[in-house]
Amino acid sequence: MISQHLTIFPILIPMLAALIQLLPLGDHPQRIRRAIGLTSCTLLILVSVYLLVETSSGAVTSYALGSWQAPFGIVLVLDRLSALMILLTSVLALPVLIFACFGEDNLGSHFQALYQFQLMGIIGAFLTGDLFNLFVFFEVLLISSYALLMHGGGKLKLRATLHYVLLNLTGSAIFLISLGVLYGITGTLNMADMANKVAALTGDEALIARAGGLLLLIVFGLKAALLPLYFWLPQAYAMTTGTVAALFAIMTKVGVYAIIRVFTLIFGDHAGEAAMLGYDWLWWLGLGTLAIGGIGVLGSRDLRLIISYLVVISVGTLLTTFSMANAQAIAAVIYYTLHSTLITGALFLLADVIAEQRGKTASRVVKGRKMAQHATLGVLFFVAAIAIIGLPPLSGFVGKLFILEAARTGAQVALLWPLVLFSTFLIMIALTRAGSRMFWHTFDGKPNDVSHPGLQLASIGVLIGASLALTIFAEPVAQFSKDIAAQLLQPTDYISTVLEHERGNHE
């Protein structure tokens, strides 16, 4: 039955779409490629909604590829967290692709196929239950991202991409070393099996496992853009096209997801002598990332660069909160991940439209010409700014309220509250300055005649609207986030499902 194999569909759909898009497709290939891409993203949303409903009861599904059972075979594991992250990726991908189909996908070759391969890598990272296959999916999404960053060409893009490639190649090498260390000491790379074996280690063996885990933390910190490994992100995101940057809003969340998954499942409080590995590091490095991001936002004089530093701030906020290691904190991380991904994606698209309609001044925060769709863009910017700043009543305020409430000890309150509130103040200053220069203090005279189709603006509106939906449905989303946190902190069902049960979801 098809329903037995739905777990692998989120990987197969973009993979097959990309392979078809690479074929010669007649006299008007780009139209066909666009239709295939949009169909793929729509199917992804439908499948991901179904999978989320299936996991809402707390059920964990283990899908053994080729009928080779864990820990010897490759398995995909679907639980509440992975299902939610797949849905988030799908909801982001469709509006961004619609935006790109109005000409931006013509700036370079094979954009549509690369977009689908990128989705395949991201979703595969969320689904895999094996560390080596996490490495494989990381490489799939990274190879696609190298080409997408260069989409449209240009010297500045080339330089930013070169830095990005070199750092990630280094990260890939460290990833392989860490896998070798952990495999050598545990004899497995299946995450559920490794969780059991790490918990049983003592003495020098436990120390070696901790070393391997810290190497993984370095790799995932690089992917997430955690201090001091964040410096590749601002220039890379600011120099690429708005479509690519908007899709990349989920990229840092892959690193955050990997940290949450590995450091609750393998190195959580049940891991014996390796328990709670890296949490102290995440606390201090997360606070530092939050502070550096706030300084970067205040010092930036380009809207794209400001938004890039907003991504850095969100990473610092998420990992600092996660390091507090209680159910309320992890639930706050889940909610804030949804909010920050959707809003930063919308802002990157909006910055692209603003830059094109302003002409020579582009996205620089300086006085310029009035835009052709000035009022519409002003409203979209105003709503998105309120959301990302964290002002009531939108999802940013709700997310930050959850985060501040999760701080329980005196030290946590004394450090987290001032930094979160001060970074919020800096974001408000930066976006207020950008909005006033771009929408209020404009030159007199005829507006620029460059305008954008309504469907492109609607794509931005959908992502901003998703933030409104997170506000309206804050209670059920928060409850689901709490359910995810509870499942992560009690990984017994995950481990037993992967290692002990014949799931009957394959022929």
State pTM to two decimals: 0.93
Mean pLDDT across the chain:
89
DSSP-assigned letters across all residues of 414-448: HHHHHHHHHHHHHHHHHHHHHHIIIIIS--SSPPP
Give the three-state DSSP class for 189: coil
Burial class (CB in 10 A: 0-12, 13-18, 19+), 336: buried
Give the CA radius of gyration of the chain: 22
421 lies in a domain?
yes
Asked if the bond preceding 392 is cis, omega within 30° of 0, the reply is: no
Report percent pLDDT > 70 for the chain: 97
How sure is the predictor about 323, in pLDDT bands with cuts at 50, 70 and 90? Answer: very high
For residue 3, what pLDDT is reported?
A: 59
12 lies in a domain?
no
436 lies in a domain?
yes
Helices and strands, number each (H, E), in the chain = 20, 2
For residue 476, what pLDDT is reported?
A: 94
Identify whether the C-beta of residue 452 lies closer than 8 Å to the C-beta of residue 322. no
Distance CA 194, CA 200 (A): 10
pLDDT at 115 over 50: yes
For residue 371, what pLDDT is reported?
A: 86
For residue 360, what pLDDT is reported?
A: 85
320 lies in a domain?
yes
Burial class (CB in 10 A: 0-12, 13-18, 19+), 66: exposed
Name the token pair of 22.
């690479």
Burial class (CB in 10 A: 0-12, 13-18, 19+), 314: buried
pLDDT (tens digit per residue) in 55-65? 999 889 888 88
Sign of CA dihedral 363, 365, 371, 374: positive
Average pLDDT over residues 208-232: 91
310 lies in a domain?
yes
Distance CA 494, CA 83 (A): 14
pLDDT at 504 over 50: no
Higher pLDDT, 496 or 451: 496
Exposure string (b/e) for 466-498, b if CB count within 10 Å is 16 or more? bbeebbeebeebbebbbbbbebbeebeebbebb
Residue recorded with tokens 């930066």: 430
pLDDT (tens digit per residue) in 435-475? 998 888 877 777 777 888 989 999 999 999 988 899 999 99
Exposure string (b/e) for 105-138, b if CB count within 10 Å is 16 or more? beebebbbbbbbbbbbbbbbbbbbbbbebbbebb
Domain that holds residue 404: 278-488
399 lies in a domain?
yes
Identify whether the C-beta of residue 266 lies closer than 8 Å to the C-beta of residue 177. no
Average pLDDT over residues 281-304: 93
Instruction: Give the residue among 230, 281, 284, 290 at the shortest CA–CA distance from 255.
Output: 230
451 lies in a domain?
yes
CA 30 to chain centre: 28
Q: Which helix (H) or strand (E) segment is 351 a member of?
A: helix 327-358
pLDDT at 425 over 90: yes
Query: What phi-psi label fits residue 302: left (phi over 0), alpha (psi between -120 and 50 degrees) or beta?
Result: beta
Average pLDDT over residues 180-201: 92
247 lies in a domain?
no
Other residues' Cβ atoms within 10 Å of the Cβ of residue 217: 23
Asked if the bond preceding 10 is cis, omega within 30° of 0, the reply is: no
Domain count, the chain: 1
pLDDT (tens digit per residue) in 388-417? 998 888 889 999 999 999 887 878 888 999
Give the three-state DSSP class for 302: strand
Distance CA 305, CA 344 (A): 12
